[in-house]
Amino acid sequence: MAQPTILLVDDEKEIIDLLEIYLKNEGYRLLRAGNGIEALSVLQKEDVDLIVLDIMMPKMDGIEACLKIREQKHMPIIMLSAKSQDMDKILGLSTGADDYVSKPFNPLELVARIKSQLRRYTRLNVQRPNKEHELEIDELSINTATHEVKLDGRDIKLTPREFAILELLARHRGTVWSIEKIYEAVWKEAYFDSDNTVMVHIRKIREKIEENPRKPKFIKTVWGVGYKVE
């Protein structure tokens, strides 16, 4: 995330203009929308890292927009509002917003909160599952509820064992799993040395999800140790 993209959603142009000055100065790329509907259409086209969302807007208000956004993607949402009552704050947070700032606000405070949110998301360098049972690795998505795997939107058919292995590795991105550990986690029985069944399954998975199974993008071999998904 060299230059994070921030989407500002507010019907008051002055507020957006003000924020733009501060945020451009911090090196962010900015997108704007005047209401929730506009915001959603921007999100379809653009890759956004964080959203600043006003609660009070015409057409579709911020709370509704927030819920809709949460259904689709997961990214930090900071709510903005003229109402400063605590009930509003709580409402905002339980709709899935990640933070809340009440108007009138000090732009520096908002900048700090934006940084804080982005920092957290990059620190946990991890995909943001919109649904709990979704694992995403680049263009590969694994749904543990429906047992579906999609590559670039196309359906990939995996057998139960293949699925279990891929899920295991994807759930623990980065961690290397030895063949023995994989066997025990998936088969739930003791591993016998010189059993290459895990290896054959890995090969089958690669055949299905990798463009070039010889040079795998998703499941990497760590020589002498095991396999991992990066």
Partner DNA sequence: TCAAAACCTTAAAACATTCTTAAGGGAAAA
Partner DNA sequence: TTTTCCCTTAAGAATGTTTTAAGGTTTTGA
Residue 160 makes contact with DNA by CB under 7 A: yes
CA distance 57 to 60: 6
- Phi, psi (deg, nearest 5) at residue 136: -125, 130
Instruction: Choose among a copy of itself, DNA, none what residue 196 binds, the Cβ cut-off being 5 to 8 Å by kind.
Output: DNA
Q: Among 187, 191, 208, 217, which residue sits at the site for DNA (rule: CB under 7 A)?
A: 187
Instruction: Tell me the residue length of the chain.
Output: 230
Of the pair 26, 195, the CB lying nearest DNA is at 195
- Quick one: CA torsion of 25, 57, 118, 105, rounded to 10 degrees? 60
**Angle, in degrees to the nearest 10, between helices 197-209 and 160-171:** 80
Indicate whether 161 belongs to the interface with DNA (CB under 7 A): yes
Say which entry of a copy of itself, DNA, none residue 175 contacts (CB below 5 to 8 A, set by partner kind). Answer: a copy of itself
Interface residues toward a copy of itself, by CB under 8 A = 74, 86, 89-90, 93-94, 97-99, 106, 108-109, 111-113, 115-116, 120, 123-129, 132, 143, 145-147, 159-160, 171-176, 222-225, 228
For residue 98, give the H/E element and its range: none
172 φ, ψ (degrees, to nearest 5)? -120, 60
Site for DNA (CB under 7 A): which residue of 17, 26, 71, 195? 195
Residue 175 binds DNA (CB under 7 A) = no
Q: Comparing C-alpha atoms, which of 132, 62, 149, 153 is closest to residue 100?
A: 62
| Partner that binds at residue 188, options DNA, a copy of itself, none, CB closer than 5 to 8 Å by kind | none
- For residue 1, the tally of other CB atoms under 10 A from its CB is 10
Is 197 a residue that touches DNA (CB under 7 A)?
yes
Task: Candidates 24-32, 92-100, 119-127, 221-229: pick the segment binding DNA (CB under 7 A).
Answer: 221-229
201 near DNA, rule: CB under 7 A: yes
> Which single residue is written with the structure tokens 């924020």?
19
Q: Judging by DSSP bridges, how do beta strands 219-222 and 134-137 pair with one another?
A: unpaired
Q: Give min distance, CB of 149 to DNA, in A.
A: 12
Count of residues near DNA by CB under 7 A: 24
